[in-house]
Amino acid sequence: MARFTVIGAGLSGPLMACYLAKAGHDVELWEKRPDPRVDSADAGRSINLALSMRGIRALEDVGAGEAVMATVTPMRGRMMHAIDGSTTYQAYGTEAEHVINSVSRLGLNMTLLDLAEKKYGVTVHFDRTCEDVDLETGALTMRNNATGALETVATEHAIACDGVNSAVRRRMQSMPRFDYDQVVLDHGYKELCIPAGADGTHQLRPDCLHIWPRGNFMMIALGNLDGSFTCTLFWPFDGPHSFSAMNDDKDVEAFFKKMFPDAVPLMPDLVKDYRENPTSVLMTIRCKPWHVGDRFALVGDAAHAVVPFYGQGMNCSFEDCRILAEMLEKHGDDIGAAFEAYGKARKPDADALRDLALDNFIEMRDLVASRWFLFKKALGKLAHKLMPKTFIPLYSLVTFSHVPYAEAKARSERQVRNTTVGVWAFVIALVGGLLLWAARR
Ligand SMILES: Cc1cc2nc3c(=O)[nH]c(=O)nc-3n(C[C@H](O)[C@H](O)[C@H](O)COP(=O)(O)OP(=O)(O)OC[C@H]3O[C@@H](n4cnc5c(N)ncnc54)[C@H](O)[C@@H]3O)c2cc1C
């Protein structure tokens, strides 16, 4: 058995540590923030994520499934809120069990940390920032955030789960053949809140992901167990209608009243939340390779940050952990071969997810409001009913299956092509038949 060091104890880090310890490896986990179970700056804020099948499978593998699923708010479909306050519901899946689950980021993080420490005996070091890494020797330069002192931590095999601004990936960028691209969106996001009603219940239907699609921008809301909703406004940074165009509280109030009139009465702290909550950046990151020999491997956002519009970044990161654990098992002592096989297997899927997530932004903020889009979605569901094995809607392939993302994307493109050809063939045959029938009369 080997000695592994995991850098970053966000979402994928503790899960990866559990997988490794479960396989009998010796694991240490290092995290720059303080222990959220003791001291959490976010404890008062409920930021939530959509957890679906791929993520749940990984959680179940390490024995966290039941504990996490006891805390989720299931969502069966989208509820679109038009500007006149009218709503349209659209189920996510084709089967009754097709639900996605709103889960608290903080709660999930704490459950995984508890599991890593208590069940698997992982040693976790908090308040330690990885400042740099030596790709050849595996040595990490760690800053003790309490004292400011730098220390060197020797590693045999290190897994970077240190997120979108990964220190390990930053160092890998100096490798001569390292391929890297980063795209920062013109849109940013801000989290807001719809608190629970006076009786502690949800003020909107909790079993839906609520969307206020407004063409070039949108707001969404996911329910929490305590009766509140976490809302996220996705909006351009610049331009006449943008974050930068808001000069004061009055502008904010006027904008929300105009664009989200049915949400405003449910948001008593809107202006304060808007003023106090940060405006954050959205970006995608692609890179290659995802490993350095048997020294380092990148997992999760460190390898492939995607925009959040398919609700798959965490699910994909959790799937990374599962695949890497499988490769380590398959390749035994040859850790370098396992790292390489993992990167080769996952890179096409991460690239496909990046494209799908970007496309879904346009779908969510704009297309979901159109009748043509809803009609096409209904057609897709009908096609699935008629040919359940041959036609599976893309959303179901991505969210309710374990089909690799790249295969899901290619399969959906094929299905759309074949269905279009089929519909045209049917129309031509029908028109031809009618003409023949008319000519014979
Ligand atoms: C607005 C938004 C909404 C999202 N919604 C969803 C959703 O609904 N569903 C979904 O599946 N995904 C969603 N995602 C994506 C999801 O948040 C990420 O994909 C996921 O958090 C990636 O996990 P990770 O462990 O790779 O990174 P993180 O969760 O970011 O964890 C990285 C950890 O590393 C630590 N760290 C960073 N640098 C260092 C360092 N130098 N030294 C030590 N520690 C370090 C950080 O403190 C952090 O704890 C969303 C993302 C955003 C921005």
Q: What is the CATH number of the domain that holds 336?
A: 3.50.50.60
Distance 11 CA to ligand 1 centre (A): 6
Cα–Cα distance list, 256 to 201, 368, 398 (Å): 23, 20, 33
7-28 tens-digit pLDDT: 999 999 999 999 999 999 999 9
317 part of a folded domain = yes
Of 305, 328, 360, at which residue does a domain stop?
A: 360
- pLDDT value at residue 41: 61
Give first-to-last CA distance, the chain, whole Å.
83
User: Over 50: is that where the pLDDT of 166 sits?
Assistant: yes
- pLDDT value at residue 365: 82
Q: Is residue 14 in contact with ligand 1, taking CB distance under 6 Å?
A: no
Structural domain for 432, as ranges = 378-440
- Give the least confident one: 46-50, 291-295, 340-344, 350-354: 46-50
Counting atoms of ligand 1 from 1, which one is nearest the CA of 162?
34
Over residues 313-327, mean pLDDT: 98
User: Over 50: is that where the pLDDT of 202 sits?
Assistant: yes
Are 401 and 356 contained in the same domain?
Answer: no
Counting atoms of ligand 1 from 1, which one is nearest the CA of 191?
1
Q: Which of 144, 314, 356 to mutate to test the pocket of ligand 1 (most atoms within 8 A of CB)?
A: 314
Measured in degrees and rounded to the nearest 5, phi and psi for residue 203 equal -90, -10
User: Over 70: is that where the pLDDT of 44 sits?
Assistant: no
d(CA 50, CA 313): 10
Q: Is residue 153 in contact with ligand 1, taking CB distance under 6 Å?
A: no
Q: Which of 16, 37, 49 to mutate to test the pocket of ligand 1 (most atoms within 8 A of CB)?
A: 49
- pLDDT value at residue 428: 92
Q: Is residue 167 in contact with ligand 1, taking CB distance under 6 Å?
A: yes
Counting atoms of ligand 1 from 1, which one is nearest the CA of 315?
11
Are 313 and 425 contained in the same domain?
Answer: no
Our CA dihedral for 345, 351, 356, 359, rounded to 10 degrees, sits at: -170
Place of tokens 């959220």: 36
49 part of a folded domain = yes
Work out the pLDDT band at 42, boundaries 50, 70, 90.
low
Are 54 and 171 contained in the same domain?
Answer: yes
Q: Is residue 7 in contact with ligand 1, taking CB distance under 6 Å?
A: yes
Are 297 and 323 contained in the same domain?
Answer: yes
Work out the pLDDT band at 43, boundaries 50, 70, 90.
very low
224 part of a folded domain = no
Q: Is residue 106 in contact with ligand 1, taking CB distance under 6 Å?
A: no
Are 338 and 395 contained in the same domain?
Answer: no
Distance 9 CA to ligand 1 centre (A): 9
The pairing of strands 157-160 and 296-298 is parallel
409-432 tens-digit pLDDT: 999 999 888 877 887 888 899 999
Distance 335 CA to ligand 1 centre (A): 25
- Closest residue by Cα to atom 20, ligand 1, is 314
- Give the least confident one: 218-222, 248-252, 362-366: 362-366
pTM of the model: 0.94
d(CA 334, CA 437): 71
Of 331, 360, 389, at which residue does a domain stop?
A: 360
Are 171 and 121 contained in the same domain?
Answer: yes
User: Over 90: is that where the pLDDT of 310 sits?
Assistant: yes
- Closest residue by Cα to atom 3, ligand 1, is 308
Q: Is residue 277 in contact with ligand 1, taking CB distance under 6 Å?
A: no
Cα–Cα distance list, 227 to 88, 110, 194 (Å): 22, 21, 9
Distance 13 CA to ligand 1 centre (A): 10
Q: Is residue 36 in contact with ligand 1, taking CB distance under 6 Å?
A: no
Q: Is residue 319 in contact with ligand 1, taking CB distance under 6 Å?
A: no
Distance 314 CA to ligand 1 centre (A): 7
H or E segment to which residue 416 belongs: helix 405-440
231 part of a folded domain = no
Are 164 and 305 contained in the same domain?
Answer: yes
Q: 301 or 377, which is more confident?
A: 301
Of 311, 327, 360, at which residue does a domain stop?
A: 360
Strand partners, 142: 130, 151
289 part of a folded domain = yes
- pLDDT value at residue 40: 62
Q: Which of 47, 53, 162 to mutate to test the pocket of ligand 1 (most atoms within 8 A of CB)?
A: 162
- CA-nearest of 343, 333, 337, 283 to 308 is 283
55 part of a folded domain = yes
Query: What is the total count of domains within the chain?
Result: 2
Q: Is residue 313 in contact with ligand 1, taking CB distance under 6 Å?
A: yes
Distance 424 CA to ligand 1 centre (A): 45
Q: Is 369 helix (H, G, I), strand (E, B) or coil?
A: helix
Distance 305 CA to ligand 1 centre (A): 9
Distance 215 CA to ligand 1 centre (A): 27
Over residues 235-257, mean pLDDT: 95
d(CA 311, CA 313): 6
- Mean pLDDT computed over every residue of the chain: 94
CB 13 within 8 A of CB 7: yes
Are 399 and 294 contained in the same domain?
Answer: no
- pLDDT value at residue 437: 92
251 part of a folded domain = no
User: Over 70: is that where the pLDDT of 320 sits?
Assistant: yes
- pLDDT value at residue 201: 95
Distance 50 CA to ligand 1 centre (A): 13
Q: Is residue 340 in contact with ligand 1, taking CB distance under 6 Å?
A: no
Work out the pLDDT band at 45, boundaries 50, 70, 90.
low
- pLDDT value at residue 46: 58
- Closest residue by Cα to atom 27, ligand 1, is 163
The percentage of the chain sitting over the pLDDT mark of 70, rounded to a whole number, equals 98
211 part of a folded domain = no
Residue 321: partners with Cβ closer than 8 Å, 6 or more residues away: 12, 15, 16, 19, 58, 299, 300
Q: Is residue 312 in contact with ligand 1, taking CB distance under 6 Å?
A: yes
Residue 161: partners with Cβ closer than 8 Å, 6 or more residues away: 6, 7, 8, 9, 10, 12, 13, 16, 299, 300, 302, 317
Are 309 and 414 contained in the same domain?
Answer: no
114-126 tens-digit pLDDT: 999 999 999 999 9
Are 13 and 145 contained in the same domain?
Answer: yes
Residue 272: partners with Cβ closer than 8 Å, 6 or more residues away: none
User: Over 50: is that where the pLDDT of 75 sits?
Assistant: yes
- pLDDT value at residue 278: 95
- pLDDT value at residue 47: 86
User: Over 70: is that where the pLDDT of 259 sits?
Assistant: yes
Over residues 319-340, mean pLDDT: 98
Distance 186 CA to ligand 1 centre (A): 20
Are 59 and 168 contained in the same domain?
Answer: yes
Are 112 and 26 contained in the same domain?
Answer: yes
User: Over 80: is that where the pLDDT of 253 sits?
Assistant: yes
- pLDDT value at residue 377: 80
User: Over 50: is that where the pLDDT of 322 sits?
Assistant: yes
